[in-house]
Structure 1
Amino acid sequence: MTIRPLRRSTDETTGDNPEGHFCVLGSGPVAETIARRLHADGHAVTAIGDAADAADHRTVRGDPTDLRQLEAADIDTDSTVIVATPRDERNLLLAQLVQTHFDATDVVVRVNDPDRHDPVAAAGHDPFCVTTVLSAVLVDELTRPAYEHS
């Protein structure tokens, strides 16, 4: 499983922000941490979720399946949308909604079950499997030689 590089060159973007805008859909620790990290790295971020309430980046409080909420996030073709709700089925639905209504071409979708990676990729989205990423990072950390830890 790999995520294709999503960074586009300045020539490929049209907005004021050369790397585009990130929109994170979903509530919960995964979505909130992604939004905070992107913002901390200097990116323009909008988070949409039922519990969206961050002081450091733009938020739209509400259901990300509501088209009015998505419109309020100013999603366009230069946006990278990260769909990160806790439910795989909802994530695929949201990804399809965003791609259909907003012509977003960069849609990254959270999956919890590694078996759902390929169907999400076949639908034209970039899946990231929380289970696979977490287990790979943990195994790498546990098996790294002790001198690399210092």
Structure 2
Amino acid sequence: MSLLTGTAVPAARLIGVAVHQVRRTALWETAITTGLAAGVAAVLVAVGLGAYRAALSAEYHEVALDVPWFTLAALVLACLVVGGAVALAAIGGLLRRGGISAITAREQAGGGPRRRGGPHPPPPASRPAVRRPSGAPRRSERRCRQPS
């Protein structure tokens, strides 16, 4: 669940994404991730079996490998089911958090987002603010100025 993290779910809910859309996104992410992982594993196993077959063929001349396709498909399906269940449980926990409803209620009441720690602190006294003289060009104007 790379996209649906603890902060992405409340943000998605605040911009109006429905609960079923968040759950569907989590399921799609899980299915894509599991499918990619199964594909990478299949490539690695195929390379390993190819090397194994080549080594055995050098000694025994003819080697037949039997791949249990039904068992492999059942394993991928089990990974999809377990991944989907975990994704739904995790998203359900994130959706049940009280922070989403509290933030939504505060936004609807007109309170707006609040910063932690209040307003920004003043700049440190050891570093005075640098002011541009009244007639001096701005930095952007100095770059654009053509030599006369």
Higher percent of residues as helix = 2
TM-score (norm 2): 0.22
Larger relative contact order, structure 1 or 2 (CA cutoff 8 Å, min sep 6): 2
Greater Cα radius of gyration, structure 1 or 2 = 2
